[in-house]
Amino acid sequence: MCDFAVCSIIMESLQLSASPTKLQIDPAKPLRSPYLQDTGTVHPALRLPRQLLDSLPAITPHSRVSSSFLQNNEGSDMFRAICERKSARERLEAMTNRIQSLRLAETRANKKLTEVRKLTEAKTVLRERKDRAEEERKRRKLQLQSDFRAARYKIELDRSETKERITQARESLLRLKRVTDM
């Protein structure tokens, strides 16, 4: 295929135009494929190797240049396929990067979730301990109050018994004095 293109270029360059003052060049067509990005440089496929240029006779402005040389019509499907493959590869890489970032985010979220669970468990245990301590404090306070009431009741009972004994002893002394005084 390449030999045919070289031969057609050589054949066309050997032909002289009918009128040397006018150029017989096909109407201007873009030198780049519409599927390639515009970088401002001529595509390497449109350049001829140095050996081929040396073997060709000089191309003058009067010679006719083929449109197949200026525009790669045969390769546009190839350019499109390459472009589609490149865009598909880029989309695939973007998807794999997204999957990896989602996996990383998932592991981070799982770590945070376990940390939050541990923290809530620790808080729950601390709250339960505080509740138990508070209940124990209330129970001790109630027990202390009941013990205090029981002790007070016993003291009051003892006092009243002692008072009664003292009054009985006074009365008995008064009777004895009366009996002895009489």
Q: What is the mean pLDDT of residues 110-130?
A: 96
pLDDT at 176: 86
**Per-residue 3-state assignment (H helix, E strand, C coil) for 115-163:** HHHHHHHHHHHHHHHHHHHHHHHHHHHHHHHHHHHHHHHHHHHHHHHHH
Q: What is the mean pLDDT of residues 62-88?
A: 65
The amino acid occupying position 32 is R
Note the pTM of the prediction, 2 decimals.
0.37
The angle formed by the CA atoms of residues 109, 111 and 114, to the nearest 5 degrees, is: 110
Q: By mean pLDDT, which of 50-54, 117-121, 161-165 is the weakest? A: 50-54
* pLDDT tens-digit series, residues 30-54: 555 555 555 555 555 555 556 655 6
pLDDT at 170: 92
Q: Which uninterrupted H or E stretch holds 53?
A: helix 50-55
pLDDT at 132: 96
In 3D space, the residue among 9, 132, 129, 121 whose CA is nearest the CA of residue 65 turns out to be: 9
